[in-house]
Amino acid sequence: MCGILAVLGCSDDSQAKRVRILQLSRRLKHRGPDWSGIHQYGDNYLSHQRLAIIDPASGDQPLYNEDKSIVVTVNGEIYNHEDLRQNLPSKHTFRTNSDCDVIAHLYEEHGEDFVDMLDGVFSFVLLDTRDNSFFAARDAVGVTPLYIGWGLDGSVWISSEMKGLNDDCEHFEIFPPGNLYSSKTGGFRRWYNPPWFSEMVPCANYEPLVLRKAFEDAVIKRLMTDVPFGVLLSGGLDSSLVAAVTCRHLEGTKAAKQWGTKLHSFCVGLEGSPDLKAAKEVAEYLGTTHCEFYFTVQDGIDAIEDVIHHVETYDVTTIRASTPMFLMSRKIKALGVKMVISGEGSDEIFGGYLYFHKAPNKEEFHVETCHKIKALRKFDCLRANKSTSAWGLEARVPFLDKQFMDVAMNIDPEFKMINGDKDRIEKWALRRAFDDEEHPYLPKHILYRQKEQFSDGVGYNWIDGLKTHASSLVTDKMMQNAGFIYPHNTPTSKEAYHYRVIFERLFPQNSARLTVPQGRSIACSTAKAVEWDAEWSKNLDPSGRAALGVHTSAYEPQLIADDATLNGKPSQAKIKKPRIDNAIHSTTVIVGT
């Protein structure tokens, strides 16, 4: 992922202003260490920090149309760029082979209405010098980060990260995903609004092969690269499926011809973590070149301030999960890898969080998955993008592919619900789609392995170490006065207080603190979970260990013979009805579940 910064209509075209914008743009250089570019037209500035993934030789930005009357700076990947190029009239000529080069030309043909034609993830700003207008857009659910701010002089500022805005804007906020902002109207307009997004409950029948094909397509298109790449592999369902599909379809691709058919996989964990063992098992099954990275609790604690600086949040669960991913990304980049494929988004789409066990009906189940997808921009998308981009590494997330989401979110949610009477554990619809007896994607016990809460990261020793460290720094008296010091989003734990102190020092503006969501994040302790089951209100920690009666070692599925069919042939796997008790299963999960 790259870094973009645009300042538009700032009433200052001086050299001093240009120098200042270059200074601010350099704050984003970690996102794009390969090249820097800036275009100035009057009092409009478009700057770019490039991470070269496609066309490293000639794809520098900003990008232009033929006569340079249209200028664009882009952070993202356009996976259907070749088809878009071919469908443009022959009068269009391209300066580069960059996938993003189509944007200026599409605008020439279609105006601002071309955004929905883009298949990919992106944030961009486009300046039309012919009438001195501009517009900006962000991808469907916010895989790429983007912020918008306003200056006292009437200027509009747009940046990939807050740190490009926080010293120079009177007010800034998160640029809403699936929207575009146009200077012609002076406001936002939603360009992404599929029927399921309005939370209407779908009723399409569940077709395993259709779902499987949609996900395979989403993974395959993300193999578009001109640089070395790999996958994040934890041994959990989601990352294991990403790795399995990548391995199966890598041979014969452009990436394979350049870098070989041996896929590289990466995981990180505390020494002795059970998920390191699970990831290694999957890697051996798939035949990947597997790299394990270890860190200590102290390593993580030492990195917390850097993590908050890069991820730009004080949300407890996000910081807990971002830290191992941040540490791992540095190691991966040191190996010469610039792109990884990861498994974010599956739990939101399929209701994989453990509190979904308590959903009372399919209507509420579906609405809650919609809420989770819409919140990804503040949590998992934020973590996955910024933790990796901190080291100039790009993370691609096939579960959040537009076409795949349309297939998965239009399935009757009855097929997604956890149902012991029908032998369905969480994410059953996804597991079933890849349960292929003749050509198995994964071993059965991996395919049907129970979800671990991602907020627990790499083990409870990690979380307990963070709590102990925070307790040594934050006193009871400080907590008593927390409401006076931080009246907005008042910290409710010493760990939260510690993160808030660091965040406020790095980002003291009121606009910055308002970008972080109210209360606890999207782990298991949400308001909806409490509404579905009052027992969840007893949990004061956004961690999977609160899943009493659900998250149990007794829940591990056992495979027995069954005459159920898949693909028209007998399937040998059936999940025994889970035995629910109050034991707490304390195995861990590695980044990339």
Active site positions, annotated: 2
Give the single-character DSSP code of 186.
T
| 8 Å CB contact between 546 and 524 | yes
What is the sign of the dihedral through the CA atoms of 331, 333, 334 and 336? Answer: positive
For residue 375, the surrounding DSSP H or E stretch is helix 362-375
| 8 Å CB contact between 45 and 21 | yes
3-state helix, strand, coil in the chain (%, to 5): 40, 15, 40
Our CA dihedral for 486, 488, 494, 496, rounded to 10 degrees, sits at -130
For residue 176, the surrounding DSSP H or E stretch is none
The answer to whether 232 is a known ligand-binding residue is yes
Give the single-character DSSP code of 354.
G
Longest Cα–Cα distance of the chain, Å, equals: 75
Given the DSSP bridges, would you call strands 44-50 and 289-294 parallel, antiparallel or unpaired?
unpaired
For residue 145, give both structure tokens. 């980060």
The answer to whether 335 is a known ligand-binding residue is no
Long-range contacts of 82-87 (CB under 8 A, 24+ apart): 84/117, 84/118
CA gap 581, 578 in Å, rounded: 9
CA gap 68, 72 in Å, rounded: 10
Packing angle, helices 316-334 and 380-389, rounded to 10:
30
| 8 Å CB contact between 105 and 64 | no
CA gap 38, 24 in Å, rounded: 12
Of the candidates 371, 304, 316, which has an alpha carbon nearest to the alpha carbon of residue 543?
316
Amino acid at 141: V
428 Cβ contact list (under 8 Å, min separation 6): 415, 416, 418, 419, 575
The answer to whether 559 is a known ligand-binding residue is no
CA gap 425, 414 in Å, rounded: 12
CA gap 246, 443 in Å, rounded: 16
The answer to whether 121 is a known ligand-binding residue is no
Q: How far from 235 is each of 136, 393, 585, CA to CA, in Å?
A: 38, 21, 16
375 Cβ contact list (under 8 Å, min separation 6): 348, 517, 522
**DSSP sequence for 111-153:** GGGGGGG--EEEEEEEEETTTTEEEEEE-SS-SS--EEEE-TT
The answer to whether 252 is a known ligand-binding residue is no
Tell me whether residue 527 is exposed, middle or buried, using C-beta atoms within 10 angstroms of its C-beta: 0 to 12, 13 to 18, 19 or more: exposed
Give the single-character DSSP code of 302.
H
CA gap 119, 141 in Å, rounded: 13
Compute CA 414 distance to the chain's CA centroid, rounded to the nearest angstrom.
26
Binding residues for ATP: 232, 268, 342-343
Binding residues for L-glutamine: 99
Binding residues: 99, 232, 268, 342-343
